[in-house]
Chain A
Amino acid sequence: MAGAAGAAVDAAGLTAWVTEFARLVHEQRDELTRLDAAIGDADHGANLDRGMTAVVAALEGGPADDAAAVLKTVATTLIKTVGGASGPLYGTFFLRAAGALDGGDASAFAAAVRAGLDGVAARGKAEPGDKTMLDALTPACDALDAALAEGRDLPDALRAAAEAAAGGRDATVPLVARKGRASYLGERSAGHADPGATSAALLVQAAATALAGGS
């Protein structure tokens, strides 16, 4: 059952997750900026890289024995340092996840990220198909829940979630943006992957990598 690999979702596991996310954002920084230059204001890669670099520094300095506190630190650091819309959006994701985290097993993690997803949707007043980070996060959470419900362990379920997030990201290419600055471009926003969905897919990929151990 899913609980067998659940030990990974503690403060250390969550720190490993966001640290891996920071590494991927840094690695993909120019690609995120290139996508944002096509349909937005060309700051997503730089903003998120700055924010996640600050997150890693904050987690190195703070106590790592409380899993919810790790997520709260991620939230407040992103809110303070990102500046653009991805600050309050990713900040809300981690803030709501921190508030919902109850326990250290796979189902607790799934419930926390679902709460984060709901927070992003409420904050951005967006829904799947609007060409936003929700287009990666929503199928990822659905795949995670479905895999856990089938009795698959957390690493396996997170791999399924990462595949679903990547699929959701790719599916944003033909979409016309309906939220944020890209929406001003109308039809011209079609033809490029959404930068928010692209970074959100990295977040899920990071979870699959960092929380794969211990099974």
Chain B
Amino acid sequence: MTVGLVVVSHSRALAEAAVELARGMLPGRELAVGIAAGDVDGGLGTDATAIADAVTAVDGGDGVVVLMDLGSAVLSAETALEFLDDDQRARVVLSPAPLVEGLVGAAVVAASGASRDRVAAEALQGLAPKQAHLAG
């Protein structure tokens, strides 16, 4: 199994495009990634119960890293943890990484079979290449 990823965004289109970008790095590789984005009517918004469902769907037992955009996406991701049982909650990490950069970094190492903590650490490093490039 690989570590699961969940993308939480106010916008379904934004989440789907971010996943497409990450998958583009991994042609033919297996990646467990779920999306919880947009409100029930397809507008902008986040839904903690949808996040909890997405976590459960990608959780194969090796852990889940949740990446999110901003504002209420963060509050909703935290609220989602309340809907999980204790064992599953302990396997989930909410990543403070930037959504796009964090997702791409996390996806690459998750697809290689890395541990949850390694995937979460890679997500956090997501900004480093851009920062290094622009500082140079």
By a beta-carbon cutoff of 8 Å, the part of chain A in contact with chain B is 76, 79-85, 87-89, 91-92, 95, 123-124, 180-181
Contact = CB atoms under 8 A, between A and B. Distances in A.
A2 B44 CA distance: 45
Given A83-B47, A92-B82, 10 more contacts: A76-B49, A79-B47, A80-B40, A80-B50, A83-B72, A87-B46, A88-B76, A88-B78, A123-B75, A181-B71
A79 B71 contact: no
18 contacts: A76-B49, A80-B50, A81-B40, A83-B43, A83-B46, A84-B45, A85-B71, A87-B45, A87-B72, A87-B76, A88-B48, A88-B75, A88-B78, A88-B79, A91-B48, A92-B79, A92-B82, A123-B78
A85 to B, nearest CB: 4
Interface of B: 39-40, 43-50, 71-72, 75-76, 78-79, 82
A209 B8 CA distance: 39
Given A79-B79, A95-B82, A85 B40 contact: no
Nearest to B78: A123
A81 B39 contact: yes
A212 B50 CA distance: 37
Contacts of A81: 39-40
Contacts of B47: 79-80, 83, 87
B72 A84 contact: yes
B86 to A, nearest CB: 14
A80 B46 contact: no
A49 to B, nearest CB: 14
Nearest to A85: B72
A91 B79 contact: yes
Residue picked from A76, A82, A84, A88, most chain B C-beta under 10 Å: A88
Nearest to B72: A85
Contacts of B75: 85, 88-89, 123-124
Given A91-B79, A92-B82, A124-B75, A83 B49 contact: no
B81 to A, nearest CB: 11
Contacts of B82: 92, 95
A82 B76 CA distance: 11
B71 A180 contact: yes
A83 to B, nearest CB: 3
B78 to A, nearest CB: 6
